[in-house]
Structure formats: structure tokens, C-alpha cells
Amino acid sequence: MTTQCTNTQHRLYQLIGQLPKTELHLHIEGTLEPELMFALAQRNQVTLPYASIDELRAAYDFHNLQSFLDLYYAGAAVLLTEQDFYDLTWAYLQKAHDDNIVHTEIFFDPQTHTLRGVPFAIVYQGIRRALDEAQAQWGLSSRLIFSFLRHLTEQEGFDVLEQAMPFLQGIDGFGLDSSEKGHPPAKFERLFKRCQELNLPCVAHAGEEGPAAYVMDALHLLNVKRIDHGVRSLENAELVRQLVAEQIPLTVCPLSNIRLKVFTTMQEHPLKQMLDMGLLVTINSDDPAYFGGYVNDNFKACTTALNLSDQDIVQLAKNSFIASWLSDAEKARQLAEIDQIWQAWKLAD
Ligand code: HPA
Ligand code: ZN
């Protein structure tokens, strides 16, 4: 790499760090770093099937979504108390704050915990306490998205929703995650109808490993307003036209896509192509403890592999606000702030 090239990259990395951003696709259980997993295992006297942190990290060699999910659900077994969920969430929020994330909309998977005997209240209260503290300490705002596991039945979704009812004032939306193939959106049509009757917005993972048809069904059958991943939408030109026309946000997770072999290399990732097509794409970390990077790491990896310009980076930061559930006034304030920071960055050249 030439000096010129290294300098350009260094400058773009500075811009990434300086820009305020949101994160809109983040599974809190996927932020469980190996060090914390071992510490919680010891605190709760849970035996892990790995002798060391290095051995655990070495197991993070995934060949598809399912091979990751098997480890992700096994790792969550160390989370038992309200303090565990607080510690998990607080560790993520510190990292988000370091990355200049000023607003985050996080998923939690209640069924991963309730089905092994941890009460919904314990999970919710630990996460909520950390979110409230980040708001008080740094002004880092958040939304909490209750995500259903799609490999389970729709009835199991209704059952866990019942347990969440006393806490509904602290839940901001609903999502759908876990094994995509063979579990189409149609399986959850009645459950999502019920969620919408509760007047909360819904999102769904679609078009990660599953086909573009799942993205269409998530939009039309589940009535979601934002798609998580959605990278396989590109396989259907009519769908792309709709996504562009309606500016439906796609929460893309580049490092996740590479680690789960959705694309072979970062150079082949369609993020830049999607941006150029006018799709409302955002950059997110998904499960950063498992996929090797938080939001700024994802921005940097894309910048290097896809030759993103400063304008692309600024557009992605702006998209993260546009696609969020913040108020229009707050979005306008953040977009103006981004323009100011960009201008100052250019002058410092
Ligand atoms: N896809 C589906 N389910 C998930 C993911 C993902 O990337 N991460 C955690 N649960
Ligand atoms: Zn995800």
C-alpha cells in the first residue's frame, strides 16, 4: 500500500470515528465476549465445553447461519441473573459509546432465556437498567426490540408474548430472527398481526440466507417497515424497485455476512452497489462478539474492501438516523450535525 493510499484510509477512518451514528441491528446476546462468557460461567458455576478463551474463540469458525446459532444459543446459557443481563448490556453500550453510536435499537431474544427457566422479568430488567443508565450518563438513547425465534412455533411466540405483557411500556417493537431457511414469514402472520394491534412497529430478518420472496412476504404478510439484512433482495428486480420507491430500510451487517458465508469475501459484498441503487442501507454489527467487529469495524472493513468515499460514509451515517425510530426533529438535528462534522473534516485536510 502506498503512503498516499494509507493516508487516505487513515483520514476516512478518522471520519468514521467522528461521525455520530445509530445501530439498528444488534442482538444483545451476540455481544457476549468470550472473556465475559467465562467470567459469568465462573460466577454462576456453569460448565462450558471449552478449556480456555482461546479454545472458545477457535470454535468461531462458522460455515453458515445454523452453525453460528448453535454456539450462540449455547453461550447464552451463562446468563442467569438480572446482574448478568445488566453486565452484558452495559459492556455493549460502552463499546457503542466508544464508536460514537448515539442511538441504538437492540434486539433481545426472550425465548432463549424463558425456555431454560429464566423469568422474562429478570432478562428485561437487567437490560433495561443498563439502557437507562447509558441514557443518563451519555445521552445515548435506545429502543428495545423483542425478537421471536422463528425455528419455534407460532404458538410458542404467543406464549412468550403473554409473559411480556406486564412490561410492554418498556418494549418498543417486535422482530423475528434465528434459522431463516424453512421458516418463512407466513408462519408468523397471526402473531405479527397481534403485535401490530399492540401499536408497536415490527421488523423481521429476511433475505439473509432465505430468498428474496421472504423479504416480500415479510413486507406484505407481516407488514414490517424495516428489513434486517435483506441482501438477497438483489435477486429480484421488482422487489428492489419497491424497496427503493418506498425507502424501506435494510439493516445490513457486512462482517456477519462474510463470517456466515453469505458472501465469500468483503470485496464481493454488495453494500456499495446497494447504496448506489438508492436503497436505504445501513451498516450494523449483528453479533459483534462472534463476527469480529463492532460498528466502526464494519465501516472500516467496507471502506477498505469496497473503496467507499467520504460521501458514501456520510450517506451511511445519515441513513442510520433516517432508518431509525427517532422523531423527525431529532433526525433533522443529527443530519445537520453530520454535515457540520463532514465540512470540518474536509477543511482539516
Ligand atoms: N440471523 C438470524 N438470527 C440471528 C442472527 C442472524 O444474523 N443473529 C442472532 N440471531
Ligand atoms: Zn441479526
pLDDT, tens only, 28-87: 999 999 999 999 999 999 999 999 999 999 999 999 999 999 999 999 999 999 999 999
Contact between 208 and 178 (Cβ < 8 Å):
no
Nearest CA to ligand 1 atom 10: 178
Q: Which of 67, 30, 26 is nearest to 285 (CA)?
A: 26
pLDDT on residue 4 = 59
How many A from CA of 256 to the centre of ligand 1? 9
Burial class from Cβ neighbours inside 10 Å (0-12, 13-18, 19+) for residue 61 reads exposed
Q: Where are the beta strands (DSSP E) in the chain?
A: 21-23, 101-108, 141-149, 173-177, 203-206, 226-229, 250-252, 281-283
Which superfamily does 15-347 belong to? Metal-dependent hydrolases (3.20.20.140)
Pocket flag, ligand 1, residue 286 (CB < 6 Å): yes
| Ligand 1 atom nearest residue 256's Cα | 7
Alpha helix positions (H), 76-175: 82-98, 110-114, 120-138, 154-164
Backbone φ and ψ of 247, nearest 5°: 50, 50
Instruction: Kindly give the distance from the C-alpha atom of residue 206 to the centroid of ligand 2, in angstroms, as a whole number.
Output: 10
Query: For ligand 1, atom 7, which residue shows the shortest CA distance?
Result: 286
Strand partners, 227: 204, 250
Sheet with 141-149, strands from edge to edge, namely 21-23, 101-108, 141-149, 173-177
Q: Which ligand ends up closest to the CA of 29?
A: 1
Best probe residue, ligand 1, of 106, 205, 229 (max atoms within 8 Å of C-beta): 205
Question: Ligand 1 centre from 112 Cα, in Å?
Answer: 12
What are the residue numbers of the active site?
208
Ligand in closest contact with the CA of 208: 1
- Residue 170 phi/psi, 5° resolution? -105, 10
Show the CA angle centred on residue 177, arms to residues 176 and 181, nearest 5°.
110
CA distance 337 to 349: 19
Instruction: Match 413486507 to its residue by C-alpha cell.
Output: 219
User: Using one digit for the tens of pLDDT, what is the confidence trace for 123-150?
Assistant: 999 999 999 999 999 999 999 999 999 9
Measured distance CA(107)–CA(104) in Å, rounded? 10
pLDDT for res 174: 98
Interval between CA 26 and ligand 1 midpoint (Å): 9
Cα–ligand 2 centroid distance for 177 (angstroms): 6
Mean pLDDT of the chain: 97
Spans of all domains in the chain: 15-347
| Positions in the chain short of pLDDT 70 | 1-4
pLDDT in the model for residue 6: 82
Q: Which ligand is nearest to the CA of 76?
A: 1
Cell of 11: 483520514
Run of H or E including 317: helix 310-322
CA 190 to chain centroid, in Å, comes to 25
Q: What are phi and psi of 134, to 5 degrees?
A: -65, -35
Say yes or no: CB of residue 21 within 6 Å of ligand 1.
Answer: no
Query: What is the structure's pLDDT at 349?
Result: 74
Residue 150 Cβ contacting ligand 1 at under 6 Å: no
Query: Residue 142 phi/psi, 5° resolution?
Result: -155, 165
CB distance 294 to 95 below 8 Å? yes
Of all protein residues, the one whose alpha carbon is nearest to atom 3 of ligand 1 is 178
- What's the one-letter identity of residue 245? A
Nearest ligand 1 atom, CA 180: 2
